[in-house]
C-alpha cells in the first residue's frame, strides 16, 4: 500500500515538474513510448506551424502554446489590452485580407468564436473577456 502511494507521489511530482517546466519559457516535449506522437509545449513566442499570414496585433502577448505534430494541431493563448469586441473586430477585418475565409462568427460581449480556414489550416478562435479592458483568445489551428 505504501509503495503505491509513493509511486503516485512520484508520478504526481514528475507531472507537476513537466507543467512548471513548460511554463517557464522553455519548451517541453512529450513523446509516447512508441514514438508515434509528439507534443511540444511552449510559451512566449508564436509556434513555427502558425502561418506567417495569421494576424496577431503588435500589442498581443503570446502565452502558452502547444504543437501536436501527430494530429496536425497547434494551439496558442493570446492576451490583448482591449475589450472582446475590439479584438473580434480586428480579426474580422484582418483574417479575410490575409487569405482566411470566415465561415462563422458569433457570440456575446464576454465570449465570441470565429471559425474559418485558409493558408492550409482550419481555424477556431475563441475570445474571452478578462475584465478591466483585457481579453484573451485561444487559437486552434489544424492542418487541412
Q: Quick one: pLDDT at residue 28?
A: 58
CATH number for the domain spanning 88: value is: 3.30.160
Is 20 within a domain? no
Residues written for the chain: 144
pLDDT in tens, 85-103: 999 999 999 999 999 999 9
Is 93 within a domain? yes
Q: Quick one: pLDDT at residue 10?
A: 33
Q: Quick one: pLDDT at residue 130?
A: 94
For the beta carbon of residue 10, count every other beta carbon within 10 angstroms.
Answer: 10
Tell me the β-bridge partners of 73. Answer: 68, 142
- Per-residue pLDDT band for 75 (boundaries 50, 70, 90) equals very high
Cα distances (angstroms) measured from residue 92 to each of 21, 107, 108 = 35, 13, 15
pLDDT in tens, 127-142: 999 999 999 999 999 9
Q: Quick one: pLDDT at residue 13?
A: 36
Is 115 within a domain? yes
Average pLDDT, the chain: 83
- E strand or H helix at 30: strand 28-31
Is 4 within a domain? no
Is 6 within a domain? no
- Per-residue pLDDT band for 67 (boundaries 50, 70, 90) equals very high
Q: Quick one: pLDDT at residue 5?
A: 43
- Per-residue pLDDT band for 25 (boundaries 50, 70, 90) equals low
Is 81 within a domain? yes
Max CA-CA distance within the chain? Answer: 62
Number of compact structural domains in the chain: 1
- Smallest Cα–Cα separation from 60: which of 90, 96, 31, 24? 90
Is 8 within a domain? no
Residue span of the structural domain in which 123 resides:
28-143
Amino acid at each position: 500500500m505504501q509503495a503505491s502511494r509513493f509511486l503516485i507521489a512520484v508520478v504526481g511530482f514528475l507531472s507537476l515538474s513537466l507543467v512548471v517546466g513548460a511554463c517557464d519559457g522553455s519548451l517541453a516535449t512529450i513523446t509516447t513510448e512508441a514514438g508515434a506522437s509528439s507534443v511540444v509545449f511552449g510559451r512566449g513566442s508564436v509556434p513555427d506551424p502558425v502561418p506567417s499570414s495569421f494576424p496577431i496585433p503588435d500589442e498581443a502577448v503570446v502565452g502558452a502554446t502547444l504543437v501536436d505534430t501527430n494530429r496536425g494541431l497547434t494551439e496558442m493563448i493570446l492576451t490583448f489590452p482591449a475589450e472582446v469586441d475590439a479584438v473580434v473586430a480586428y480579426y474580422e477585418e484582418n483574417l479575410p485580407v490575409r487569405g482566411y475565409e470566415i465561415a462563422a462568427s458569433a457570440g456575446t460581449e464576454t465570449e465570441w468564436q470565429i471559425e474559418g480556414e485558409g493558408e492550409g489550416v482550419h481555424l477556431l478562435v475563441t475570445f474571452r473577456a478578462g475584465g478591466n479592458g483585457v481579453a484573451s483568445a485561444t487559437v486552434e489551428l489544424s492542418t487541412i
